[in-house]
């Protein structure tokens, strides 16, 4: 079997199939031998787990997942990688490769078709960075049976996703993800662990779905509008942003904030997740 941690072997393999990397598809393949075992160990995958992998590339992470999971379904957009993958992962009979754009895949349909009766379904991937937020939000919004996602993402994206309220990195994405899940940074990864080496470092994060609605949010749509409009102009006070978004008079919003014990001068990064939940509930009561 080809050693996918050896740069020499990887180059031989890529030359054999006349493959050149696509920057646009975020093709930076793992070449560090310790990384895949560490990612899969931290993901909590067991022999009972069904795993969805996004972007298998030449199959280095796929192999590690396949050796520990019940089944892996890997979604790869780049047709040129299919013959390479049939070469590198053919040894494993629990791997299925689907040639598609993950953003176009019906996740619940895939789970029905591939993981019926599975006790545990997880996502594990070294994500193509250009679709990080879109993929995460899609996987969360589709309300599937996925319990957790262990993802390698660009370091700055990891910091934003896992940011605590009140921190400089906290934004609409952090709070949107928080609506569905808890997230944590597991460990940092240097750019030197990939071939070709990207211009930025990475981090591996874990997003674990919540079953409870921790802030008792009444209306999801109003919550998301409240968060997005507040952060769309970070320098403005929340009152100013929300008054134009919901066509509410500033006096009405000031009263809502007073009732909630939130300062009228608050900027979005000063509010907690629970504050946003209470604020959106009060706005919802006012606008329906």
Q: At what angle do helices 250-259 and 238-246 cross, to 10 degrees?
A: 120
How far is the C-alpha of 111 from the C-alpha of 99, rounded, in Å? Answer: 16
Residues between 122 and 161 that touch ligand SAM (CB under 6 A): 126, 128, 131
Run of H or E including 282:
helix 273-287
Q: Is residue 239 near ligand SAM by the rule CB under 6 A?
A: no
Closer CB to ligand SAM, residue 21 or residue 224?
21
CA quadruple 38, 41, 43, 45: dihedral sign: positive
Radius of gyration from C-alpha coordinates of the chain: 21
Q: Is residue 39 near ligand SAM by the rule CB under 6 A?
A: no
Give the residue, chosen from 2, 5, 21, 25, that forms a contact with ligand SAM under the rule CB under 6 A. Answer: 25
* Residue 86 backbone class (left: φ over 0; alpha: ψ -120 to 50; beta: rest): alpha
Give the residue, chosen from 10, 13, 51, 60, that forms a contact with ligand SAM under the rule CB under 6 A. Answer: 60
Burial 178-212 (b: 16+ CB within 10 A, else e): bbbbebebbeebeeebbbeebeeebbbbbbebeee
Q: Is residue 271 near ligand SAM by the rule CB under 6 A?
A: no
Query: First-to-last CA distance in the chain?
Result: 63
Residues between 162 and 221 that touch ligand SAM (CB under 6 A): none
42-50, 51-59, 88-96, 235-243 -> range binding ligand SAM (CB under 6 A): 51-59
CA quadruple 182, 188, 194, 200: dihedral sign: positive
How far is the C-alpha of 267 from the C-alpha of 167, rounded, in Å? Answer: 12
Closer CB to ligand SAM, residue 100 or residue 214?
100
Q: Is residue 98 near ligand SAM by the rule CB under 6 A?
A: no
The residue at minimum Cβ distance from ligand SAM is 55
Cα distances from 217 to residues 57, 136, 211, 284, 286, in angstroms, run 39, 21, 13, 10, 15
**Closest distance between ligand SAM and the C-beta of residue 96, in Å?**
14
**Closest distance between ligand SAM and the C-beta of residue 206, in Å?**
17
Q: Is residue 85 near ligand SAM by the rule CB under 6 A?
A: no
Give the residue, chosen from 54, 140, 157, 177, that forms a contact with ligand SAM under the rule CB under 6 A. Answer: 54
Give the residue, chosen from 55, 171, 268, 277, that forms a contact with ligand SAM under the rule CB under 6 A. Answer: 55
Q: Is residue 30 near ligand SAM by the rule CB under 6 A?
A: yes
By the criterion CB under 6 A, which residues form the site for ligand SAM? 25-30, 54-57, 60-61, 75-78, 81, 101-103, 126, 128, 131
């Amino acid at each position: 079997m080809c050693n996918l941690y050896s740069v020499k072997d990887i180059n031989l393999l890529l030359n054999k199939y006349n493959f050149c990397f696509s920057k646009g598809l975020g093709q930076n393949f793992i070449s560090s031998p310790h990384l895949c075992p560490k990612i899969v160990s931290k993901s909590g995958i067991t022999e009972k787990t069904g795993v969805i992998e996004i972007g298998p590339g030449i199959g280095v992470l796929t192999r590690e997942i396949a050796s520990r999971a019940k089944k892996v379904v890997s979604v790869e957009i780049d047709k040129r990688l299919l013959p390479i993958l049939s070469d590198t992962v053919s040894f494993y009979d629990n791997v299925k490769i689907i040639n598609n754009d993950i953003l176009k895949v019906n996740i619940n349909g895939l789970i029905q078709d591939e993981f019926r009766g599975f006790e545990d379904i997880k996502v594990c991937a070294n994500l193509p960075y250009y679709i990080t937020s879109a993929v995460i939000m899609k996987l969360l919004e589709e309300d599937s049976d996925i319990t957790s996602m262990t993802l390698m993402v660009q370091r700055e994206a990891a910091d934003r996703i896992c940011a605590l309220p009140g921190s400089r990195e906290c934004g609409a994405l952090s709070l949107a993800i928080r609506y569905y899940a808890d997230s944590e940074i597991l460990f940092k990864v240097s750019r030197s662990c990939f071939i070709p080496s990207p211009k930025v470092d990475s981090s591996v994060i874990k997003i674990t779905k919540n079953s409870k609605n921790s802030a008792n949010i009444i209306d999801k749509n109003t919550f998301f509008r409240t968060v997005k409009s507040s952060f769309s102009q970070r320098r403005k006070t929340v009152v100013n942003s929300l008054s134009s978004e919901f066509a509410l008079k500033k006096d009405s919003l000031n009263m809502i904030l007073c009732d909630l014990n939130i300062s009228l001068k608050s900027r979005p990064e000063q509010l907690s997740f629970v504050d946003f939940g209470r604020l959106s509930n009060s706005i919802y009561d006012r606008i329906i």
